[in-house]
Amino acid sequence: MNSGPPTLHPDRPVAPELRRGRGATGNPTGRFEPRARVTGDRNYHYADLGWSESEEETAPAPLQTTVSEDQTRSIIAHNASPDLGFSQSINPYRGCEHGCVYCFARPSHEYFGLSVGLDFETKLFAKPNAAALLRQELASPRYKASVLAIGTNTDPYQPVERRLGIMRSILEVLSECNHPVGIVTKSHLVTRDADILSSMAKRGLAMVHLSVTTLDRGLARRLEPRAATPPKRLDAIRTLAEAGVPVGVMTAPIIPGLNDIEIEAILEAAWDAGARSAGKTLVRLPHGVKDLFQNWLAEHAPGRAAHVMSLIRSTRDGHDNDPRFFARMKGSGAYAEMIDLRFRTACQRLGFNKERKKLDLSQFRPPSLDGQLALW
């Protein structure tokens, strides 16, 4: 029996049986960590670990999701980015179990000494006191109302929300004090809150966008393993539209050479489901996400990997990523311009974005800290 650990290789992915149902193929060292982390050789044998392959109970279990409490003291995040359509946002969760391999938010986990890879989708942080913090911040005399964006970093309706209900508690506070909100999600779970969203929509206070990356269920399962299937996202659009909620579609992210062929089909399906506004973003690969994504391509689309990265670089001035304001969302160069033209042409043909919905800020009334609305 080998009493020592197997040889570990930092440049190899985690064994498939350990990461079944996950998006990332590995768990690379975070850029702020003083020591490199290593991951198991994907070709190891249990005997190398001193385990018997015939004893199933000793085999390593697949990675489990853990949820820790985030001890944050504030809930509203502010930004001054000139290319974003909002100045303040809320993120009920850090990390996201959807496991979208391309997610630009993955590097945020590195600030906690964790990896952009499997850590991001298995080690989550929840903010159970989000509603109480929100009530406090909205009640402050210094607070100035502005549309709150939710879902701009990690998905507020990821699987754990079904059990914790943090997002619903946030909406209850916002509805109570007539505060406008814009939501982006990939989850059908948003329909759970159709009652609140419908009520807010009647007052001009709510808008929802569903992100639809692909209509190909197989590709979606590999790209976004724990997000809702494409048909479920379209059903969420339909359900919200029928409830009177202004709903749109985000064709996001567009990945050249992988899903850009579907732009028109996604827009048509979303229109038929009831979406009346549409937006897009080009795939962004900041920091460690670029390596994570290339490893994913090597495993799931090896025949197209080089072509996909070549097209991405052609939209990013020859680089894997371009963090510059304005350029980061839409890219540059001939291929990016063609994507933009196709998107705009399809939107015009179908009738998207004819009326820009503006949410009403004038109705906002600060809440009192005892849970009742203030009279003045």
Tokens (6 digits) for 345: 């042409």
Residue 334: pLDDT over 50? yes
- Class of domain 66-350 as given by CATH: alpha beta
Instruction: Count the Cβ atoms, other than its own, within 10 Å of residue 360.
Output: 13
Instruction: Name the phi and psi angles at 141, rounded to 5.
Output: -60, -20
Longest dimension (CA), the chain: 76
Percentage of the chain lying above the pLDDT 90 cut? 75
Q: Where are the domains of the chain?
A: 66-350
Edge-to-edge strands, sheet with 123-126? 66-69, 123-126, 93-94
Distance, CA of 24 to CA of 224 (rounded, Å): 10
CA-nearest of 119, 120, 236 to 185 is: 236
The whole-number pLDDT of residue 261 equals: 98
Higher pLDDT, 8 or 130: 130
Q: How confident is the model at residue 60 (pLDDT cuts 50, 70, 90)?
A: low
Distance, CA of 373 to CA of 113 (rounded, Å): 41
Q: What is the DSSP string of 119-172?
A: HHHHEEEE-TTHHHHHHHHHHSTT----PEEESSSS-TTSTTHHHH-HHHHHHH
Confidence (pTM): 0.88
The whole-number pLDDT of residue 82 equals: 85
Which whole number is the average pLDDT over 109-138?
A: 95
Could you report the per-residue pLDDT of 146-179, keeping only the tens digit for each? 999 999 999 999 999 999 999 999 999 999 999 9
